[in-house]
Amino acid sequence: MTSDNRPEWWRGGVIYQIYPRSFQDTTGDGIGDLPGITRRLTYVAELGVDAIWLSPFFKSPMADMGYDVSDYLDVDPMFGTLDDFKALVGEAHRLGLKVIIDQVLSHTSDEHAWFEESRSSRDNPKADWYVWADAKPDGTAPNNWMSIFGGPGWEWDGTRKQYYMHNFLASQPDLNFHSKAVQDALLETVRFWLDLGVDGFRLDTVNYYFCDAELRDNPPMQGDDDGAGLDAPDVNPYGFQKHIYDKTRPENIDFLKRFRALLDEYEGRSSVGEVGDGARSLKTVADYTAGNDKLHMCYTFDFLGPNFSPGHIRHCVENFFATVTDGWVCWAFSNHDVDRHVSRFARSEEEREPVARLALSVLATLKGSICLYQGEELGLPQAELAFEDLRDPYGIRFWPSFKGRDGCRTPMPWSNVPPDAGFSTAEKPWLPVPAEHLPLSVFEQAPLPDTVFSHYRATLAFRKEHAALFDGEIQFMDSEDHDILIFTRSKDNETLLFVFNFAETPRTAAMQMAVDHVETLDLPGMTGVLNGATVELGAYDGFCARI
């Protein structure tokens, strides 16, 4: 294995997200761990990705599955030790993989030592490290801000006799980024992991760091105004507000510059920010990635919804690069927070496999970096879980209208043997492995030449063979057929043409150019054929040529 030695390895790179709880258990407790990830890194490297992104493994009471950190500088015992993490980084680097970790800076657990000190009085050294405010004269919360997990965004504390702000669970108090001491402390935790050799950071809820210093009420959402969008399901009253005061505040720019300056002290480091900001997301990404002095790249929720169509993809990509003129994007169809994309995009069980293939072919040829979520290379559908199996507080809160995120977080099926599919030896893993995932396991797919897994490997290898697919320009072309997506990728002396059919039936696409010097390329898993001045495409098919 050889690593990507480009200084900007992240630009056009492929990131593989690992959800540690569900990747591989080595202790028999039913929960995945760091040694398990290390054990499976050869599998990840052979898939053909450039980096891994680890969801949180820090010490935590796990009220929100690790996104409630109680110690930024230690590994939670359920996942292993710091030595286990060091071993993981060493093995990843040996295999040519970069390591990105998930930094949850906007809030901590209420069990963090910082919060325990802050809540102890109004005059202790960390009294202003969190967002505290007095009640209104009638005892109600300071303003109308909502929690994205449902209900008010404020919790009463009897010791300080004040409210503290929380964008998520009440046990996840928000840090006060208006305090330079808070910023300094957080940046020191980032430096700790940089010194241990991590190559980059995924910044959770990066636009949530600052809130309005005056704690002004959010105005109500009006019609199609910019607001929550995909930030919250429509069963959640969070979407009733226009979130202009509780997130995406202008002060965040200066903190991101401080964060980037720290990363720039180390060679070859990178950052990707999660921006959930409704219709304002593109402007926010532009602000956060412009100028080469803040984040390296961001991702939005544009492709994490149900729309999988040529028009939507073209609109999102063109809008991004028109708005974000000197920044960069990381595209993804799935992650740990949304239903798996084959279930969102496919209209029937029979369509899942061809849709999985097409989705990866499209994603891997767009301009931008891409992020894959563990198990999507197997074409895993969303798991349907019983209420008693749920662990996600978000799903438990809004059941049954919103079933939460557990259905995309079930254990990785390494084998076809129930009940744990090679994930664990425990009698019962932390989430059940769905029976329908067993025939899609790595054991079943890896040895065969014509599976979703083999398609991922071949397509990612194809991407690496063409410099135009790292950071080349993209140009879309019109098609009279709304189910056809046509674009070119160009860099230096190479221009590649891609034609994709999103329909469940064969289609014919008219070429938009002379075909005298078209050289058909073998796009893995796709069978489109050039026939004179047209391309003949099967259902969910694609075509590639050098022009």
Name the residue among 134, 170, 178 with its Cα closest to residue 154.
170
**Rg of the chain in Å (alpha carbons):** 23
Residue range of the domain that includes 426: 1-104+328-341+370-464
pLDDT value of residue 4: 60
Give kind and range of the element (H or E) at residue 18.
Answer: strand 14-18
pLDDT value of residue 233: 77
Write the secondary structure of 233-288 as one string of H (helix), E (strand) and C (coil): CCCCHHHHECCCCCCCCCCHHHHHHHHHHHHCCCCCCEEEEECCCHHHHHHHHHHH
Asked if residue 144 belongs to a domain, the reply is no
Asked if residue 226 belongs to a domain, the reply is no
437 and 487 belong to one structural domain: no
Asked if residue 148 belongs to a domain, the reply is no
458 and 427 belong to one structural domain: yes
Asked if residue 503 belongs to a domain, the reply is yes
Query: Quick check: 89 and 73 in contact, CB under 8 A?
Result: no
Q: φ and ψ at 315, to 5 degrees?
A: -60, -45
Asked if residue 531 belongs to a domain, the reply is yes
Asked if residue 122 belongs to a domain, the reply is no
Domain boundary among 464, 482, 505: 464
Query: Quick check: 405 and 392 in contact, CB under 8 A?
Result: yes
Active-site option among 25, 76, 204, 246: 204
CA distances to 155, 163, 401 from 160, rounded to whole Å, are 12, 8, 37
If one counts every other C-beta atom within 10 angstroms of the C-beta of residue 325, the result is 9
Name the residue among 19, 1, 8 with its Cα closest to residue 431.
19
* Alpha-helix residue ranges (DSSP H) falling in 391-471: 393-398, 442-445, 452-464, 468-471
Asked if 504 is an active-site residue, the reply is no
CATH code of the domain in which 35 resides: 3.20.20.80
| Cβ partners under 8 Å of residue 77, min gap 6 | 59
38 and 86 belong to one structural domain: yes
Locate 478 and state its tokens.
């019109």
The single-letter code of the amino acid at 216 is: R
Query: Quick check: 14 and 47 in contact, CB under 8 A?
Result: no
pLDDT value of residue 3: 46
488 and 413 belong to one structural domain: no
444 and 493 belong to one structural domain: no
Domain boundary among 464, 487, 515: 464
Cis omega (within 30 of 0) for bond into 432: no
pLDDT value of residue 232: 76
515 and 404 belong to one structural domain: no
333 and 458 belong to one structural domain: yes
Give kind and range of the element (H or E) at residue 36.
Answer: helix 34-39
CA distances to 14, 253, 351, 353 from 360, rounded to whole Å, are 12, 34, 14, 11
Q: Which residues pair with 202 in a beta bridge?
A: 102, 272
393 and 449 belong to one structural domain: yes
Torsion-angle region of 237 (φ positive above 0: left; ψ -120 to 50: alpha; else: beta): alpha
pLDDT value of residue 86: 98
| Cβ partners under 8 Å of residue 519, min gap 6 | 545, 546, 547
Asked if 102 is an active-site residue, the reply is no
What is the DSSP annotation of 363-411?
A: HTTSSSEEEEETTGGGTPPPP---GGG---HHHHHHTTT---SGGG-SP
411 and 524 belong to one structural domain: no
Asked if residue 404 belongs to a domain, the reply is yes
507 and 400 belong to one structural domain: no
Domain boundary among 439, 464, 489: 464
Locate 249 and state its tokens.
């505040």
| Cβ partners under 8 Å of residue 320, min gap 6 | 282, 285, 302, 329, 368
pLDDT value of residue 223: 65
Active-site option among 123, 138, 265, 450: 265
45 and 66 belong to one structural domain: yes
Asked if residue 510 belongs to a domain, the reply is yes
List, for the chain, all residue ranges whose pLDDT scores fall below the cut of 50: 1-3, 226-230
CA angle centred on 91, ends 28 and 444, rounded to 5°: 55
Name the residue among 280, 213, 274 with its Cα closest to residue 243.
280
Locate 335 and state its tokens.
């992650």
CATH code of the domain in which 498 resides: 2.60.40.1180
CA angle centred on 346, ends 399 and 375, rounded to 5°: 75
519 and 542 belong to one structural domain: yes
The conformation of residue 228, written as its DSSP 8-state character, comes to -
pLDDT value of residue 513: 76
> How many domains does one find in the chain?
2
